[in-house]
Amino acid sequence: MNFPLLPLSEISEINPNYQRGIAAETSVSFLGMSDVSENGTTSSGEERTYSDVSRGYTPFKNGDILFAKITPCFQNGKIVQAKIDHDLGAGSTEFHVIRPLAGIDARYILHFLRQDRIRREGELRMTGSGGQRRVPTNYLSTLEVPLPSVAEQRRIAAVFDQVNALRAKRREAIALLDNLAQSIFLDMFGDPSVNASNFSVCELESLVADDDRINYGVVQPGQHVEEGIPLIRSGDLGRLGVDRSSLMRISSEIESSYSRSRIKGVEILIGCVGAIGQIAVVSSKDVGSNVARAVARVPITDNFDREYIAAYLRMDFAQQYFTKELRTVAQPTLNIKQIKSAPVLLPPSELRRKFTERTYMAARQRETHAAHLAALDKLFVSLQQRAFAGALWDHGGKTDTV
C-alpha cells in the first residue's frame, strides 16, 4: 500500500507565532538546546515568565515538535516532541517548530522526521558555512510526508514508541553498568584526588612499553582505497573495542610512512579530536591496522594493566583531566603532551588484577546489552523503511517483528 504524499506545510504549522493576549506574568517552560536529547526526549524545562521570553526566543506549545536546525545538533538527531510543565514554551532560536494540524498525529510526524534519510537530505540542503550551517525552513515546508489515516498514523507511532522504549531500557542498563566500574574502583581504591591509601601515582607515559611510545597516526590519509590498510578514526572507538564495520582504508604507500603507529595488539586508543577522551582497547582483529591523526596510540604490554588503565581513563576523574587539558586551534584537540602527562593511580599489581576481574562480568553484561541494543537499532531502521512505505503489517494486521 502506498500512502498519499503531502508537503509538511499542508499538514502542520511551521514556526508559528505566539498567540496574542498572553499576560506578562504567565508561566512558561524554557528549553535550551542542552534540554533536548539526541534520543528524542526533552527535559520538563525551566520555568520563566512570558515577559522574559517574549522576544529573542522561539515560541512553542507543549506537544509541538522541535527540530534543531543548526549543525551539529541537527545531524546528531535533536528532533523531539516537547514534553513540558506548562502549555506554553520558549526555546533556542536554533529550533524550527512544527505543530501538526488537527487529524495529524504528532508522534507519527516526529518518527518520520527522525529518520536517517531526513537527516542526510537535510544536511545537503543546509545553508551557511562552517559551524553556522542551518536547515532552511523551505526544506521542511516542501518535505513530502506519506499520510495514512489518523488511526494508521497512531498505530505506526505506537509501534515505534514501543521499540524506542525497549531501546531506552537497554541504554539505561548500559549506563548503570558503565557506572558500576567506577563504583567498584572507588570501593577498592577510594577517590584518586584524595588517595587516602597513598597509592603510587605516575604519568601515563611511564607505563608504556620500553621499546615503544605514545603517538598519533596518519595525518593525511588520502582517499578511501577498497583493498587498502584499515584506518581507525576517533569515531570508530567504542567501549567494546574498535568498531570495524565502516573503517576507512588507505593506500599501503601512505600507510608505510606511519609504521610507528601501526597496531601491534597491545594498545589502548584515545580519541584526541571529535570523540575526545573515548577509550578503546584493541583486539587481535585490529593488528596491522593503523590510526588516524585524531587518535592516540598507547602501547601497554601487560593485559591486566591494559584493562585496568583503560577502565581508569574512562572514569570521570580521568575524563575531567582530558577536558581541562584541551587545546583549541581549529577545533578542540587533546595533545600527545597532555596524554603522556595524564596521572594514573597505580595500586599494587595484585589489587589491579582483582579490580579487572571484578569488572569483567560487568563488561560482559554490557557487551550483551550493547548487542541487544544494536539489534533493536537495526530493527527500528527496518520498521521505518517499511512503515512509511505502507508495508509495516502482515496479513493478520500485526507487525511480524514486534
What confidence tens digit (pLDDT) does each residue in 158-202 have?
999 999 999 999 988 988 887 888 899 999 999 988 999 999 999
- Same domain membership, residue 204 and residue 179: no
> So what's the pLDDT on residue 53?
92
- Same domain membership, residue 328 and residue 395: no
- Same domain membership, residue 326 and residue 222: yes
Cis geometry, peptide bond prior to residue 16 (ω within 30 degrees of 0) = no
Query: Got the DSSP string for 23-66?
Result: -TT-EEEEE-GGGB-TTS-B---EEEEHHHHSSSSEEEETT-EE
> So what's the pLDDT on residue 163?
92
Neighbours of 336 (CB within 10 A): 17
- Same domain membership, residue 193 and residue 204: no
> So what's the pLDDT on residue 130?
67
Owning domain of residue 212: 200-346
- Same domain membership, residue 139 and residue 10: yes
> So what's the pLDDT on residue 158?
95
- Same domain membership, residue 251 and residue 212: yes
> So what's the pLDDT on residue 402?
42
> So what's the pLDDT on residue 232?
94
Cα 170–173–175 angle (5° rounding)? Answer: 110
Last residue of a domain, one of 311, 326, 346: 346
Q: Identify whether the C-beta of residue 234 lies closer than 8 Å to the C-beta of residue 255.
A: no
> What is the DSSP pairing of strand 12-14 with strand 95-100?
antiparallel
> So what's the pLDDT on residue 29?
96
Strand partners, 280: 269
Nearest by Cα to 141 from 12, 248, 267, 306: 12
- Same domain membership, residue 238 and residue 130: no
**Would you write out the chain's pLDDT as a tens digit for each of its 402 residues?**
689 999 999 999 999 987 788 999 999 999 999 999 988 899 988 999 999 999 899 999 999 999 999 988 998 899 999 999 999 999 999 999 999 999 999 999 999 999 989 999 999 999 997 668 999 999 999 999 999 999 999 999 999 999 999 999 998 898 888 788 889 999 999 998 899 999 999 999 999 988 899 998 999 898 899 899 999 998 888 877 898 888 999 999 999 999 999 999 999 999 988 788 899 999 999 999 999 998 999 999 888 788 899 989 988 888 888 888 666 555 678 888 989 999 999 999 999 999 988 888 887 888 888 889 889 988 888 888 889 988 776 544 454 444
> So what's the pLDDT on residue 135?
95
308 residue type, one letter: Y
- Same domain membership, residue 354 and residue 340: no
- Same domain membership, residue 107 and residue 92: yes
> So what's the pLDDT on residue 213?
93
Nearest by Cα to 230 from 145, 184, 288, 272: 288
Give the single-character DSSP code of 227.
T
- Same domain membership, residue 332 and residue 375: no
CA distance 156 to 389: 11
**266-304 pLDDT per residue, tens:** 999 999 887 888 999 999 999 999 999 989 999 998 887
Give the single-character DSSP code of 14.
E
- Same domain membership, residue 337 and residue 217: yes
The CATH number linked to 57 is 3.90.220.20
Give the total number of structural domains in the chain: 3
- Same domain membership, residue 231 and residue 153: no
Grid cell listed for 279: 577509550
> So what's the pLDDT on residue 129?
79
> So what's the pLDDT on residue 393?
65
